[in-house]
Amino acid sequence: MNKKSHKPFRFKHFSIYQEFAAMKIGTDGILLGAWVNCQNCTYILDIGTGTGVIALMMAQRNENASIDAIEIDENSIKDASMNFNNSTWSNRLNLIHHDVTSFRTAKNYDLIVCNPPFFNNSLKPNDNSRALARHNDKLNITEIAKFSTQKISDKGRVCLILPISSLEEVKLIFAKFQLELIRICFVKPKPHKQPHRILLEFGKQKQSLQKETITIENEGRHNYTEDYKNLTREFYTIF
């Protein structure tokens, strides 16, 4: 049986080849990459980079940043390597084939971003690479929080996207590692639906919590809201 071929996903300033990675381009990664505040950051780390899309978004949005992208899955590394090498920012992108739980670096990061696996309560897919990408067996929220508290700078931040059902649990985990929730965005798929995702920003310094809401689509399919268009306009070719 022939393996299905996946066309490159073309953004305005780069393309994502996704032949080998188990998890393909999705709205979650794009939302996170567009939402985080990556300005005034010198060192950025993308945990579980997959195809490398969030790292590439960081490179596009901050021309002065050096970006490390760590990934454990060998197939994802193949795609990310090609995507980084084909980009105009390859000299600022450093791909690391490693498990973040045992990753050691002398750097302190100004920003850590992660679109983590969060299907720990769902049935595991048969494909091993897809299972790694979708489940938190190898990368869980506690490990992300533990690593982040050790490796972000004093004013550094950690940003994630997660299901809204995990909000209280994640807040408790990050608080255990002295990381405060300082910004949250509730993501609604459509105006009449409840939020299904949350974008979160944690930091070491306590401050007033900023709350936002974004709706992706109006009632019609692919009828995107102005807020979503404005957030992602730098990337999507359709806007």
How do residues 96-109 score in pLDDT, each as one tens digit? 999 998 999 999 99
**87 pLDDT band (50/70/90 cuts)?**
very high
Quote the pTM value. Answer: 0.90
The Cα–Cα gap between 181 and 169 comes to 12
Helix axes 53-61, 74-86, angle to 10 degrees: 30
Confidence at residue 7, expressed as pLDDT on a 0 to 100 scale: 84
The Cα–Cα gap between 188 and 215 comes to 5
Confidence at residue 89, expressed as pLDDT on a 0 to 100 scale: 98
Mean local confidence (pLDDT), 148-177: 96
CATH class, 9-232 region: alpha beta
In a 13 Å sphere around the CA of 59, the CA atoms on its Cβ side amount to 24
pLDDT, tens digit, 9 for 90 and up, residues 35-75: 999 999 999 999 999 999 999 999 999 999 999 999 999 99
Confidence at residue 118, expressed as pLDDT on a 0 to 100 scale: 60
Helix axes 167-176, 141-151, angle to 10 degrees: 40
pLDDT, tens digit, 9 for 90 and up, residues 117-159: 764 333 334 454 444 444 344 458 999 999 999 999 999 999 9
CB-CB neighbours of 122 under 10 Å: 9
Least confident of 123-132, 135-144, 188-197, 201-210: 123-132
The Cα–Cα gap between 30 and 27 comes to 5
> Do the Cβ atoms of 200 and 232 come closer than 8 Å?
no
Least confident of 98-102, 109-113, 179-183, 207-211: 98-102
Q: What is the residue extent of each domain of the chain?
A: 9-232
What is the overall mean pLDDT for the chain? 90
Of 21 and 82, the one with more pLDDT: 82
DSSP run (H or E) holding 88: none
Structure tokens at 74: 């060998």
Confidence at residue 121, expressed as pLDDT on a 0 to 100 scale: 39
